[in-house]
Amino acid sequence: MTLLYEGKAKQLYTTDNAEELRLVYKNDATAFNGGKHDVLHGKGELNNAISTLFFEVLEEEDVQTHFIKKISDTEQLVRPTRIIPLEVVVRNITAGSLARRLGWEEGKALSEPIVEWYYKDDALGDPLVNEDHIAALGVAKVEELEEMRMRALHVNNILVDLCWKANLLLVDFKLEFGLQDDGTLLLADEVSPDTCRFWDSETKEKMDKDLYRYGLGSLQAGYENILSRIGGVVYD
Ligand code: C5P
């Protein structure tokens, strides 16, 4: 089968069905736009399991996603889309680049979630952009932006609730959306500790990719902890 795309942590292959693609989660961990790179045994499996669980919950809540099903420890079947080259970041608590950019202390709860847009371009280091930049770049229509913003906030509500039940704080996360041939907008990519920040609700211990980014401890131990917590959540 043909390799359609290879990213830092995933590969996308065709299948013999034009309506389905095979998404493979790799063991590669990268940070700082590829400046740090390691292969971490078991990471692909953990991210596939966690992302599957989140996509299943989102689908149950009527969020339209590219996810079809998990087909092996490291693979999912997904629907083909044309990825809009924007990263949609939603933040509930100050951390990461927001804290750095505005000189804010990490760990402060925001009274309302903040939505940010980043233009997906490795050579430029995925710069922060606003709606006017996006219009000038011509990568998404105004209506699509509004739809992505609403969907991202809806996803935030669902995931914050799920995390709360799992004794986790959802600090922030990044989403990507894709368009099907008929113009239907689907949540795509992955929802995992590679793309979300999760802290223990009480101790504020970090359990996401920041463990790897800043050398704070074992990435796999953090991801296993998240999986066991959300796997134990009872959904109503
Ligand atoms: O680094 P920053 O604070 O802007 O990241 C915000 C959120 O977006 C974090 O959860 C991070 O994991 C995620 N992110 C990502 N891919 C990027 C940049 C950020 O998944 N290229």
- Structure confidence by residue, pLDDT tens digits, 57-101: 999 999 999 999 999 999 999 999 999 999 999 999 999 999 999
Atom 20 (ligand 1) nearest CA: 195
Q: How far is the CA of 87 from the centre of ligand 1 (A)?
A: 9
| Residue 163 in contact with ligand 1 by CB distance below 6 A | no
Q: Is residue 235 part of a domain?
A: no
In a domain, 224, yes or no: no
Is 81 in contact with 188 (CB distance < 8 Å)? yes
Same domain, 111 and 137: yes
In-domain check, residue 70: yes
> 119 and 51, same structural domain?
no
| Claim to verify: residue 52 and residue 161 sit in the same structural domain | no
pLDDT in tens, 166-181: 999 999 999 999 999 9
- Does residue 130 sit in the same domain as residue 181? yes
Q: Tell whether 87 and 160 lie within a shared domain.
A: yes
The answer on 205 and 181 residing in a single domain is yes
Cβ–ligand 1 distance for 113 under 6 Å, the answer no
Domain identity same for 86 and 24:
no
Q: Is the CB of 10 under 6 A from ligand 1?
A: no
Structural domain includes residue 167: yes
Q: What is the distance between the terminal CA atoms of the chain, rounded to a whole angstrom?
A: 39
Same domain? For 7 and 95 the reply is: no
Q: How far does residue 174's CA lie from ligand 1's centre (Å)?
A: 6
- Measure 196 CA to ligand 1 centroid, in angstroms: 7
pLDDT exceeds 60 at position 190:
yes
Confidence band for 234, pLDDT divided at 50, 70 and 90: low
**CATH number of the CATH domain containing 62:** 3.30.200.20
- The residue whose CA is least distant from atom 3 of ligand 1 is 96
Is 70 exceeded by the pLDDT of residue 233? no
**Would you state the pLDDT for residue 34?**
86
For 162, the enclosing helix (H) or strand (E) is helix 142-165
Which residue, of 39, 60, 78, is where some domain finishes?
Answer: 78
Q: What is the pTM of this model?
A: 0.97
Compute the average pLDDT of residues 185-201. Answer: 98
142 and 170 in a common domain: yes
In a shared domain, residues 70 and 90: no
Residue-number span of the structural domain to which 206 is assigned: 82-218
Atom 12 of ligand 1: nearest residue by CA position:
195
As for how many domains the chain has, the answer is 2
Which residues contact residue 129 at a Cβ distance below 8 angstroms, ignoring those fewer than 6 apart? Answer: 86, 117, 118, 119, 137
| Last residue in a domain, options 78, 108, 139 | 78
Query: CATH no. for residue 211?
Result: 3.30.470.20
Phi, psi of 48 (to 5 degrees): -65, -45
Whether 99 and 196 map to the same domain: the answer is yes
Return the bridge partners of 65, or none. Answer: 187
Spatial separation of the C-alpha atoms in residues 138 and 165, rounded to whole Å: 40
Domain co-membership, 97 together with 25:
no
